[in-house]
Amino acid sequence: MSYDLAIIGGTGLYQFPGLENIERTAVDTPFGPTSAPVVSGTFAGRRIAFLARHGEGHSVPPHRVNYRANVWALHHVGARRVIGVNAVGGIRDDMGPRVVAVPDQVIDYTHGRYTSFCDVDGAEVKHIDFSEPYTASLRADVLAATARAGVPVVDGGCYGATQGPRLETRAEIARMRRDGCDLVGMTGMPEAALARELELDYACIALIANWAAGCGDEAEISLPEIFENLRVATAQVPKIVAAMLG
């Protein structure tokens, strides 16, 4: 079986709105259980697959997500193009709350995660080219879809992936800004690299939930505001996907 697209949903996106003819598949992977069953169905007349990165009840924190199982499962069921939807904080001045961005670079600050399918005895060692961490053709498709759907989007930017689940200090964000990061999130890696190892097309839709520490005008990050901003931004995702599939 094949799918026109697979979506990995982040914080605030635990089911895919408008999905019809739903089937749920618990995939047995060599890397343990996935965060949630793979949910497949019809959307905009096309078959897509969906997987909730944090579980359907947000029970899995970012540093405990079984990224290998999730990516392997989507590949196993026939997905070849994958979009990761990620809730992030904004660092750059044009990346404030409720903005949708499609980053083109990554800096990985995570630690202690299984970052490769090579981390298994006897596995083939793959040295992937990761100069461009997101697939150019799929990024272009996402950006073209945002234009057709009338969804404002920021094209490009560097995603800084941190360990979580805590938010970052002002000093950490200041360092990330100096490093060239425009966005900060906790789930962008190793997901993108694992997709590359399996030769999946992969792109990220980043939903900006809040200003990162020390950015914007807010003296303190408010969790209720984060979730309201995410609710608004997440509503754009089905529009983008429908435009991609139309």
pLDDT digits over 163-193, tens only? 999 999 999 999 999 999 999 999 999 999 9
User: Which two three-digit tokens encode residue 224?
Assistant: 């209720």
Q: Is 244 annotated as a binding residue?
A: no
User: Which two three-digit tokens encode residue 216?
Assistant: 């914007």
pLDDT digits (tens, 9 = 90+) for 141-169: 999 999 999 999 999 999 999 999 999 99
Q: Is 25 annotated as a binding residue?
A: no
Residue for token digits 């029970």?
Answer: 59
Give the mean model confidence (pLDDT) for residues 78-102: 97
Nearest-Å Rg of the Cα atoms of the chain is 17
Q: Is 231 annotated as a binding residue?
A: no
pLDDT at 219: 62
Q: Is 64 annotated as a binding residue?
A: no
pLDDT at 25: 95
pLDDT at 180: 98
Compare 216 and 103 and report the one with higher pLDDT: 103
Residue of 67, 54, 99, 131 whose CA lies nearest to 206: 99
Average pLDDT, rounded, for the chain: 95
Compare 225 and 107 and report the one with higher pLDDT: 107
pLDDT band at 120 (very low <50, low <70, confident <90, very high): confident
For residue 218, pLDDT beyond 70? no
pLDDT at 105: 98
List, in order of start, the domains of the chain with CATH numbers. 5-118+133-245 (3.40.50.1580)
pLDDT at 126: 85
CA distances from 131 to 20, 134, 208 (A): 38, 9, 24
pLDDT band at 51 (very low <50, low <70, confident <90, very high): very high
Q: Is 186 annotated as a binding residue?
A: yes
For residue 124, pLDDT beyond 90? no
pLDDT at 196: 98
Q: Are the CB atoms for 4 and 46 separated by under 8 Å?
A: yes
For residue 65, pLDDT beyond 90? yes
User: Which two three-digit tokens encode residue 20?
Assistant: 């019809």
pLDDT at 119: 82
For residue 123, pLDDT beyond 90? no
Q: Is 72 annotated as a binding residue?
A: no
Q: Is 53 annotated as a binding residue?
A: yes
Torsion of CA 159, 170, 219, 14, to 10 degrees: 40
Give the mean model confidence (pLDDT) for residues 230-234: 96
Give the mean model confidence (pLDDT) for residues 227-238: 96
